[in-house]
Structure 1
Amino acid sequence: MSELPFGQPGLPSTWASAHKQAVGTALSERSRVWFTVADGVLTEVYHPTIDCPNQRDLQFLITDGGELFHEERRDLEHSVEWIEDGIPAFQIVSRDPQGRYRLIKTVCTDPDADCVLERVHFEPLVEAARHYRLYLLWAPHLDNQGSDNHGRVEYGANECDWLIAWRGSRYAAVTATVPFSRMSAGYVGHSDGWQDINRHRHLEWNFTTAGPGNIALTAELELPPDGHFMLCVGFGNSERTAIKAASGCLDRNGFASVLNRYMEGWRAYQRGLLDLSAQSGDGGQLYRRSIAVLRTHIDKIHRGAGVASLSIPWGESASADQPIGGYHLVWPRDLYHQAMGLLAAGDRERPAQILHYLFSRQREDGSFFQNFWVDGRPYWQGLQLDEVGYSVLLANHLHHEGLLDFDPYPVVQRAADFLVNHGPVTPQDRWEENRGYSPHTLAVVVAALRAAAAVADATGKGAQAVTYRQVAQDWEQRIEDWTFTDCGRLLFGHPEHYERIALIPSVDTGEHLPECRVFLPIRNLPAEAMYNQSQCCVVDGGFLELVRLGLRTAADLHVLKTLPVWDALCRRETPCGPAWYRYNGDGYGEHEDGSPFDGTGRGRLWPLLTGERGHYEVAAGRDSRPYIKALECFANENGMLPEQVWDTEPRLGHGTGSATPLVWAHAEYIRLLGASSRKGT
């Protein structure tokens, strides 16, 4: 047969499901690799930095050579379990729906190499299954791209058989402790192993190379009598280093030894943290898992760089033909919450590293790009004043706690000066869509200027402290003039409430310009549904930040007047408890028919907002347990909190396809436990 497969360059490439069942990495900085699991299979693996995915998935195909053909992620029933709570190593059991066999996999990374390992047991449950054939199907997407990949197969190198892929200077290699009796390389949708085995019920083609294109590599495994073997995926900047990484994993005294070192590193970390299980509703299970999620989402080359999620929203429909940011990017706002979540858990080292990193990415004028790669290259170049303010709040908090080994004032001053010179109007609010006066952003900015004054005082810069306090006081006194309306029409009998964002300050409207005629564009809606809404008729929960940051009390009249309006418009009861939309009319989510967001859609419920409401209840002296328990329920079966959950049956309260896990949501949960533990103190 020809060595050249047909169908180049293959179908357009996409990513895996964003609804992750597991994420993990070794804590050792010698291991620069992060794995994800969705639909029971290994999905995106990130290397050498946390923002660079290198495959779509790695899964098994099963056939009896006749009628039976199973694709692991689509046709089997999966369960994923933590081997030990708080340690991101997982056992995945994939069962044949008819009970003929099951696959049992244990996944971790090697603490000493850039390698992901799977210990696999193919267990026949009926006599006929002993004769089934097992194939490995690998979809490399090297260097954050599914197109322009190259691949080849090789027998016997380093006493192993190999599937090898590369793109530019990024390489990956897959091998096993059992031989690959037959291998092939092909183009997805045409000459790949899935097409071949689905058509022939065995691997008929034996193409040795493929590329450039959207490729897949396939191998038939020679199963031993007991069905046990080990898989390794190694990464490197050359074929040699990728093979060396994978070979080293096989040579390191077996899987049990690697897994033990992996788990002991995590145990040592978790032992040094606070026990907040008494505040939880599940004995601390989600707390320990949330710590692992936050810690997993930190880079190892750029120390302190954290990404929002190891997922690509609606990945199955997201093109991989060009590099994509997904949620594996740094947002300064999310990074602040990540740092504060770790601090609430008792980690006093990582938050300082995060601050060091954050200020290393500060622009000369004191601002930050909206989001960026871990090396600082901007992705979206918008400006959000709350992201600037959060950096100051974090610096002041850590400085006050004595956790910094440097004088933060120079970088704090740049950020505070930027806020003074460019506030109070933010070019984008925290939902990244609109310009104006935002209660949430104003809360962060005013609190940040107060914090900057505190840092200035502590470092002998009293004159500058006076300036920051004066501006903060002026803006704080005008928050209601700018953002509190008395002509709202959202809830009968409740015309007064904070607006989500005001294009023109409420105080500047009147007979000459009725506020109901100031229109706020609503983003992410289909063309036929696109509309402008009166600014006084859009509400969100951002006003709660005024309470959280101490600018208003929980009993403030403006806050109390807004709560029933926000609840009436944005609150939805679920089997887990209450959840909220970002704002009324939101378009960021799946379409009405459940199809993926494609630039338009309808916003769903955000669990992190349940956490924010819980913080308000703590401030009001009330019970936060209903909100804690709701968050625990919103997490999927493996403790991964989603960005959004469905607002309709039959999946009401379950995660959507946007992003799971979301670091921000896990941070809110940990911080709510911490706030509840300090209640009344």
Structure 2
Amino acid sequence: MANLLQSNSAPGAPGNPLNWSRADKDAVGTAYSLSSQVWYTSAGGILTEIYFPDVDTPQVRDFQLIITDGTTFFHDTQKDFTYQCTFPEPQALSFQLTSQAIGQPYTVVQDVIAEPGASCLLVRTTLQGAQPFLDKLHVYALLAPHMAGYGAENAAYRASTSNGDRLVATRANYWLALGADCGFGMTSCGFVGVNDGWTDIIANKRLPVWNYDSAKGGYVALTAEIKRAPGQNEFVLALAFCIDEATPITQSSPNNALTAISEALSYPFDGPAGTYSHLQAFNQGWKAAVPTPFVPKPGTTGDGDSLFNKSRNILLAHEDKTADGALVASLSIPWGQTITDLACGYHMVWPRDMCQSAIALLAAGEEDAPLRGLMFLASSQSADGSFHQKFFIDGEPWPGDCSQLDEYSFPVILAYHLSEAGLLQQFDPTGMVLAATRALIMNGPMTQQERWEELEGYSPSTLASNIAALVCAADKWADPATAQFLLEYADFLEAHLEAWCVTTQGTLLPDVSQHYVRILPTHVKGGARDFDFPEDPNVVQVTLWNQTYDARDVVDAGFLELVRYGVRGADDPIIVNSVKVVDAIIKKSLLQGPGFYRYNHDGYGQGDLGQDWYAGCSFGVGRPWPLHTGERGHYELSAGNDPKPYIRYLEAFAGSRGLLPEQVWDMPNLQNTPFVTGGPTGSAMPLAWAHAEYIKLVRSVSDNRVFDRLDVVANRYQPTAGGTPRATSTLEVWNFDRQLPSMAAGKTVRIPLDVPFRLRWSIDNWNTWQDTTSAATAVAIYYVDLPTQAAQAGSPLTFTFFWTASQTWQGANFSIALHL
């Protein structure tokens, strides 16, 4: 067992708090191997967050080099170099950082991979320059642990081993260990900003004088001098991880991580063809990741399929290796420099984003990962059929979880795609699908939050997914009676789309009065519930970022999802008008091509002066999202226009790094910042959803058919001439969230609830009344239908509930005014 030295402990605990790193990554990666449970990222010329043993658990804030001649310069590789990040093997997620020292004649080249057989990161470093100059250099590794996802309460030690000194860090039974193939010279463990290596060397401009054995109980940093022999310009650093829990007779130990270092450094980083090397094994793993990848038709992409292939690998790299199928939204933490340990990054599962990734992988020719994803979601589903808004891969939701009905729908749509492709194997998703439809109905028809996770109400994009999921479920996984019940609810939603989501009094364009709005807000899911709030986008207001606007004048492009899934046609007049409004209000011409904002008046984004966004800030400005450019490309294909330019636009947004950001900078280049027009902002990059949108657009253009289009939905709501008549509905759904005050006489009121009941109702102010017992369904929803007649206009429909399980009355009456 390694000896953890503690006789010379660093003073000054806990040190200065450190936040996370930049979110605009240059590269992300992992080995395509279940044995290697480590994920790495890079930004600004250094390694940034490193994850282990799960894709949602960061263990390292950053990992970089310090280089000095001891007297005239003291270089931090993040600040004192210009750099390039390149990808020598396009089919793999290895990368190379080439950093040129500013004002000094040397270059540092770092090749980064993960060891395929262990949870160990490997960095081969090569110094380039005149040998006499290089021999004067002192090179140090500097590592900032954030063990178990926290910078606080970390401990660091010098570990004495038979292979020489290593450095280790720990928190909560997680361990990391750092070693070098040539060994370490001076080492030190210190507290950040007090006596860490950066403060010792860079801030004090000197060779290090501190050599503490340990630093416990704070924000720590590890520093190690690379023990280079004269003329030695290449060395390999190994950073390994393990979990080791204490037992009644043993202490928690870093031994497994230390062993992984020794084993990794016993084999060559690279070598001749035909012999084993870590680099060749790493690259070969990625080359064989997808046995039969989809190959786009020649000319579909503008870069020889480079971004298409890389996007597929990016999505695969966002899958966990313990919780098979779990795909996180991004290996980044938006605006990480200002985000504390307790804030939420994107290294979590959002069912919406995850299903986008899984369906895109299916479009890219990957057959197993989408099924793993579906099974993961089925196992993560709540008992009531719902899905958490966002959650860790162990199923634990993020605090403040909200209901988002599109996230209940997308797993059903994913299941449908897999079924259509014949790829469900022996997995039966019926239980998951029907439970999800139950949750969708019981928590609707308005959503507590739409896809931008901000507002309650009726959202065109949410309703599109809801309708599609219900029709898909009815088509494949429901008995005839249940299918009819699900379809009737889908038809109810579809029949209300224009009433809920289309203004007839639009003012944004002089010649367009009728168009889709971003959302029709409601106020029934929490707080002071207002059941009289009108379901009319012409008259209600919406509050965004502490400002109030008329709902009719706030637009997004979410209505395009209605076209994507087949609920509406691309030539629908309201769709066409809405596209005109989008182009006038939220389209932004950029050097790379058109970008689109989420919606007008968006406040989620970088400030105009480059300030990092944070919750509650007053300066945030939403910037264009490349994924919307992809959504528009899908629409253009549906409309019979040329979608290929939109593929090129996305390729331009990805740039030389081949990564698509969440948002791009839409202003002139900002001096002394990384922000250039059309380049990434400080929000997430890569965004898996954006890469998924690109993959699906390429597949759709190659097939000349929108990959996401669901014929079963289109056939119901856009029937061809001579086909089945278009579905219609005269239902009005009443529930305790939608206590509609009035409706047109002649419609049928449906009251679906999650427990059995008997309804006592009257159409003549209780002069007479009837009792109707709720009907049961196979999805554990109980409902009563109350048909009305046109002649009953002017009368109130009044009712109350008798709860059969508890044998109690509701104790209150409810009334719906019937009008012509």
TM-score (norm 1): 0.95
- Structure 1 residue aligned with 2:32: 27
How do 1:104-503 residues align onto structure 2 when only pairs under 5 Å count?
104-125=109-130, 127-155=132-160, 157-198=161-202, 199-224=204-229, 225-238=231-244, 239-256=254-271, 257-270=277-290, 272-276=292-296, 278=298, 279-320=300-341, 322=342, 324-380=343-399, 381-404=401-424, 405-456=426-477, 461-503=479-521
Which deviations, in whole Å up to 9, do the C-alpha atoms of 1:263-310 show, x marking residues without a partner?
111111245201126311111111111111001000000000010000
Displacement of 1:254 after TM fit?
4.3
Write the deviation string for residues 506-550 of structure 1: whole angstroms up to 9, x where unpaired.
Answer: xx9999998555221103xxxxxx311111111001000000000
**Which amino acid letter does the alignment assign opposite residue 419 of structure 1?**
L
What secondary structure does 2:58 align onto? coil
Could you give the per-residue CA deviations for residues 321-377 of structure 1, whole angstroms, max 9, x where no partner exists? x4x430000000000100011001011111011000011111111111100000100
Per-residue CA deviations over 1:612-634 (Å, capped at 9, x if unaligned) read 00000011111111111110011
Residues 21-53 of structure 1: CA deviation (Å, up to 9, x unaligned): 111111111111111111121111110000000
Change (3 A) 1:133 1:490: same
1:91 is the counterpart of 2:124: no
Identify the structure with the greater helix proportion: 1
Shift of 1:641: 0.6
Q: Which runs of 5+ in 2 are unaligned?
A: 1-5, 245-253, 272-276, 524-529, 670-675, 707-820
Q: Structure 1 residues 213 and 263, CA, compared in 2 at 3 Å: closer, same or farther?
A: same
Name 1:538's counterpart in structure 2.
Answer: 554
Q: For 1:47-100, what per-residue CA distance to the aligned partner results, in whole angstroms no more than 9, with x for missing partners? A: 000000001111111111112011001111111111211300111111112351
Q: Please tell me whether the aligned partners of residues 518 and 556 of structure 2 are also in contact (alpha carbons under 8 angstroms).
A: yes
Shift of 1:503: 1.9
One-letter amino acid of the counterpart of residue 423, structure 2: L
**1:393 to 1:99, Cα distance in 2 relative to 1, 3 A:** same
SS of residue paired to 2:559: helix
**Match among 512, 520, 523 for residue 542 of structure 2:** 520
The residue matched to 1:242 in structure 2 has which SS?
helix
Residues 1:12 and 2:12 are matched in the alignment = no
Displacement of 1:7 = 2.5
Cα distance 1:606–1:227, how it changes in 2: closer, same or farther (>3 A)?
A: same
Please, which moves more after superposition, 4-13 or 144-153?
A: 4-13
Tell me if structure 2 keeps the 8 A contact 1:370–1:384. Answer: yes
Residue 526 (structure 1) aligns with: none
2:488 partner SS: helix
Look up the match of 1:635.
654
Q: Partner amino acid for 1:594?
A: G
Distance 1:386 1:302 in 2: 23
CA root-mean-square deviation: 2.0
Are residues 1:608 and 2:624 paired? no
- Name the residue aligned to 2:700: 675
SS of aligned partner of 1:54: strand
Instruction: Choose 1 or 2 for highest CA Rg.
Output: 2
Q: 1:677 to 1:121 in 2, by over 3 A?
A: same
* Residues 1:661 and 2:686 aligned together: yes
CA distance in 1, matches of 2:61, 2:268: 29
SS in 1 for 2:648: helix
- Residue 38 in 1 paired to residue 43 in 2? yes
For residues 510 and 173 of structure 1, do their structure 2 counterparts lie closer, same or farther at Cα, with a shift above 3 Å needed? closer
SS at match of 2:127: strand
Deviations 1:191-211 (A, max 9, x none): 111111121420111111002
Between stretches 606-615 and 409-418, larger displacement belongs to: 409-418
User: What CA distance in whole angstroms lies between the structure 2 residues aligned with 1:339 and 1:191?
Assistant: 46
2:638 is aligned to: 619
Secondary structure at 1:602 match in 2: coil
Specify which structure has the bigger relative contact order, considering alpha-carbon pairs within 8 angstroms and separated by 6 or more residues.
1
Bigger mean CA offset, 400-409 vs 537-546: 400-409
Question: Do the aligned partners of 2:124 and 2:269 also contact (CA within 8 Å) in 1?
Answer: no
| Residue identity opposite 1:518 in structure 2 | V
Aligned residue number for residue 572 of structure 2: 556
| Structure 2 equivalent of residue 649 of structure 1 | 668
Given that residues 41 and 331 in structure 2 are in contact (C-alpha distance below 8 angstroms), is that contact kept between their aligned partners in structure 1? yes
Cα deviation, residue 608, structure 1 = 0.3
Task: Work out whether residues 336 and 391 of structure 1, in 8 Å CA contact, stay in contact via their aligned partners in 2.
Answer: yes
Runs of 5+ unmatched residues, structure 1:
524-529
1:470-500 CA-to-partner distances (Å, cap 9, x unmatched) read 1111211210011100112222222211010
Q: Is the 8 A contact 1:277 1:283 kept in 2?
A: no
Identity of aligned residues (%): 41
State the Cα distance separating 1:13 from its structure 2 match: 1.6
Q: Deviation per CA, 1:163-222: give whole Å up to 9, x if none.
A: 110001000000001121101111111111111112142011111100210111111112
SS in 2 for 1:73: coil
CA distance in 1 between counterparts of 2:269 and 2:421 reads: 44
- Distance in structure 2 (CA, Å) of the matches to 1:33 and 1:409: 35
* 1:588 Cα deviation from its structure 2 partner: 0.4
Once residues 537 and 694 of structure 2 are traced to their aligned partners in structure 1, the CA distance between those partners, rounded to angstroms, is: 37
Change in Cα spacing, 1:658 to 1:235, as seen in structure 2 (3 Å) is same
**Length, aligned pairs only:** 667
Separation in 2, partners of 1:592, 1:45? 30
For 1:57-68, list aligned pairs within 5 A. 57-68=62-73
Letter in 1 for 2:604: Y
More divergent stretch after superposition (198-207 vs 547-556)? 198-207
Deviation for aligned residue 1:128? 3.0
Cα deviation, residue 466, structure 1: 1.1
Structure 1 CA distance, aligned partners of 2:532 and 2:504? 11
Query: 2:88 aligns to what SS in structure 1?
Result: strand
8 Å contact kept, 1:92–1:105: yes
> Secondary structure at 2:352's aligned position in 1?
helix
- 1: CA distance between counterparts of 2:174 and 2:663? 33
Instruction: State whether residues 509 and 515 of structure 1, in contact with CA within 8 Å, keep that contact through their aligned partners in structure 2.
Output: no
| Structure 2 residue identity aligned to 1:306 | L
Q: Name which of structure 1's ranges 73-82 and 511-520 shifts more when overlaid on structure 2.
A: 511-520
Bigger mean CA deviation after superposition, 126-135 or 49-58: 126-135
Distance 1:560 1:517 in 2: 23
Secondary structure (helix, strand or coil) at the match of 2:289 reads helix
Distance 1:575 1:351 in 2: 35
CA spacing shift, 1:557–1:191, aligned 2, 3 Å: same
